Amino acid sequence: MASAKSSARKKSRAPPKAPRADNRLPQILDAAAALFAARGYQAASIRDIVKVAGMLPGSLYYHFANKDELLAAVYGEGVRRISTAVSAAVAKESDPWAGLEAACVAHLESLVAPSPYAKVVISVQPADVPPVAKALIALRDGYEQQFVALISALPLPLHLRDRKSRTTLRMLLLGALNWAPTWYRPSGASPKRIARDFIHLIKAELAP
Amino acid sequence: MASAKSSARKKSRAPPKAPRADNRLPQILDAAAALFAARGYQAASIRDIVKVAGMLPGSLYYHFANKDELLAAVYGEGVRRISTAVSAAVAKESDPWAGLEAACVAHLESLVAPSPYAKVVISVQPADVPPVAKALIALRDGYEQQFVALISALPLPLHLRDRKSRTTLRMLLLGALNWAPTWYRPSGASPKRIARDFIHLIKAELAP
DNA sequence: TTTCAAGGCAAACAGTCGTTTGCTTTGTAT
DNA sequence: ATACAAAGCAAACGACTGTTTGCCTTGAAA
């Protein structure tokens, strides 16, 4: 996906060929996501990952140049999934506050879902993987633009209408949500409940 | 410190002896804190740590049974330092909201300070180190009791006086603060500014 | 049916990892 | 001055790491 296999596309005499149907790249991504999420990036070894995917270690390097780029691919897919879930949730609402609330619920539900892709986005710290750190941060920043838009649409009281206040609000909200997986327990409050409680605590008085 | 070297203290004939003055345990802790904070727990090797401390790899095992317990010791020291800083800051205030604000400022300042001990507490995820995960979580929970007390002292509006609302408030605030180091830049807003902005955004209307 | 690249196998490389063992140095209490 | 434990050295153990290389299989386009 994000790997360096573009190569030159010559049409003269050497058909580009299509990827095959038995391509096991999806299994690799799934296995990597599961193990990165469960044990952390460094502790998940290539051998563990390919074993789950049913391959041999060397085969992975046909798809990815190295372990870092495998992480980048999983991370990108994670961001894409969260982003899709949030967009879908927001699309159903028209009121600005309801939209933000729906986005927060979808965001947190993605983070604590059984699917490990989103968990990788939260638990892997870009700074711990210098070669791709910038790429990972860019992916995350891109996603957070959704929240920039949502918050800029809020009808806030006059003294909080400036850009700085809205940034503070975004950091407060996203930080609290991103941290929630560290104390979340399936037996406790649901993601929906948690996200709504956060929003209501803030909204109750900020709404006009 | 937290290592398993209690052993039997027999007074009969074999004086307990005191630790020596040239003990290099502090250097080990400092080096481990620095490398755990900079590269993450898994990526920081014993050999790197002892090199900074000026020793050989095997020597570390006189002080700690294994790498996990070294982490636990650093983590414990980190919690102790943050806790001390927060206590000191709170002690200067009498108003409940001012106390909470001072605590938040001290908390965040610890997290982004050049000293790496506090950073370990935030960036190391207990779940990634199963053998000592429970111990680390217990340390963190103990520290957070300070915030439980601070928030229970707040004079909140009637409809937010219950325990659940106060828990939500604590999670919102601590989550946002703990996440802040991921986007904090020394060139941007100061820790004090950030923590105060968070508090003011919440307080403005929750105060009676 | 032939062809050829997409995809994977098999096996190794060169390091690095956490940890253990036996022995030596050295500070300190006596 | 002497004794003894605290502390560290020196050297290795076995397992595991990410990655590379050359060869083989196979699905699909022609």
Chain B nearest CA to A28, separation (Å): 22
- Residue in the structure block whose two tokens are 């004079």: B155
3-state secondary structure chain B: CCCCCCCCCCCCCCCCCCCCCCCCHHHHHHHHHHHHHHHCCCCCCHHHHHHHHCCCHHHHHHCCCCHHHHHHHHHHHHHHHHHHHHHHHHHCCCCHHHHHHHHHHHHHHHHHCCCCHHHHHHHCCHHHCHHHHHHHHHHHHHHHHHHHHHHHCCCCCHHHCCHHHHHHHHHHHHHHHHHHHHCCCCCCCCHHHHHHHHHHHHHHHHCC
The whole-number pLDDT of residue B206 equals 60
- Mean pLDDT, to the nearest integer, of A109-127? 95
| CB interface of B with A, residues 107-136, below 8 Å | 123, 125, 128
The whole-number pLDDT of residue B12 equals 35
Nearest-by-Cβ selection for A43 from B128, B180, B198: B128
Question: pLDDT grade, residue A204 (50/70/90)?
Answer: confident
Question: Where is average pLDDT lowest: A47-51, A63-67, A159-163, B80-84?
Answer: A159-163
Determine whether the distance from the CB of B45 to the nearest atom of strand C is below 7 Å: yes
The whole-number pLDDT of residue A125 equals 95
- Measuring from the CA of residue B7 to each C1', which nucleotide is nearest? D5
What are the extents of the domains in chain B? Answer: 67-206
The whole-number pLDDT of residue B155 equals 92
The whole-number pLDDT of residue A35 equals 98
Question: pLDDT grade, residue B16 (50/70/90)?
Answer: low
Q: Is A168 on the interface with B (CB under 8 A)?
A: yes
- Comparing C-alpha atoms, which of B203, B105, B201 is closest to residue A164? B201
Query: Does the pLDDT of residue B2 top 70, yes or no?
Result: no
Q: Nearest residue of B to residue A175 by CA position?
A: B176
Cα–Cα distance, B174 to B112 (Å, whole number): 14
Query: Does the pLDDT of residue A206 top 70, yes or no?
Result: no
- Comparing C-alpha atoms, which of A65, A82, A76 is closest to residue A29? A76
- Mean pLDDT, to the nearest integer, of A8-15? 37
The whole-number pLDDT of residue A205 equals 62
- Mean pLDDT, to the nearest integer, of A147-162? 93
Nearest-by-Cβ selection for B197 from A40, A168, A176: A168
- Mean pLDDT, to the nearest integer, of B183-206? 92
Q: Across all residues in chain B, what is the average pLDDT?
A: 90
Query: Does the pLDDT of residue A179 top 90, yes or no?
Result: yes
Q: How many CA atoms lie within 13 A of A116 on its CB side?
A: 16
Query: Does the pLDDT of residue B205 top 90, yes or no?
Result: no
Q: Is A88 on the interface with B (CB under 8 A)?
A: no
Query: Does the pLDDT of residue B7 top 50, yes or no?
Result: no
Residue % of chain A over a pLDDT of 90: 84
Q: Across all residues in chain A, what is the average pLDDT?
A: 90
Reported as a single tens digit per residue, the pLDDT across B103-126 is: 999 999 999 999 999 999 999 999
Residue % of chain B over a pLDDT of 90: 84
The whole-number pLDDT of residue B17 equals 62
Query: Does the pLDDT of residue A31 top 80, yes or no?
Result: yes
- Measuring from the CA of residue A16 to each C1', which nucleotide is nearest? C5
CB atoms within 10 A of CB A105: 23
Whether residues B40 and A176 touch (CB distance < 8 A) is answered with no
Q: Could you tell me the distance in Å between the CA of residue B18 and the C1' of nucleotide D5?
A: 9
- Residue in the structure block whose two tokens are 């999934």: A81
Q: Could you tell me the distance in Å between the CA of residue A49 and the C1' of nucleotide D17?
A: 13
- Mean pLDDT, to the nearest integer, of A79-105? 98
Which nucleotides of strand D come closer than 7 angstroms to any CB of the protein? 4-12, 16-22, 26-30
- Which of A159, A172, A203 is the mutation pick for testing B, counting most B CBs within 10 A? A172
Question: pLDDT grade, residue A87 (50/70/90)?
Answer: very high
Reported as a single tens digit per residue, the pLDDT across B50-75 is: 999 999 999 999 999 999 999 999 99
How far, in Å, are A181, B134, B138 from residue B72 at the CA level? Answer: 22, 10, 11
- Which of B36, B71, B172 is the mutation pick for testing A, counting most A CBs within 10 A? B172
Question: pLDDT grade, residue B203 (50/70/90)?
Answer: confident
Chain A nearest CA to B207, separation (Å): 11
Q: Could you tell me the distance in Å between the CA of residue A106 and the C1' of nucleotide D11?
A: 56
Q: Which CATH superfamily is domain A67-206 in?
A: Tetracycline Repressor, domain 2 (1.10.357.10)
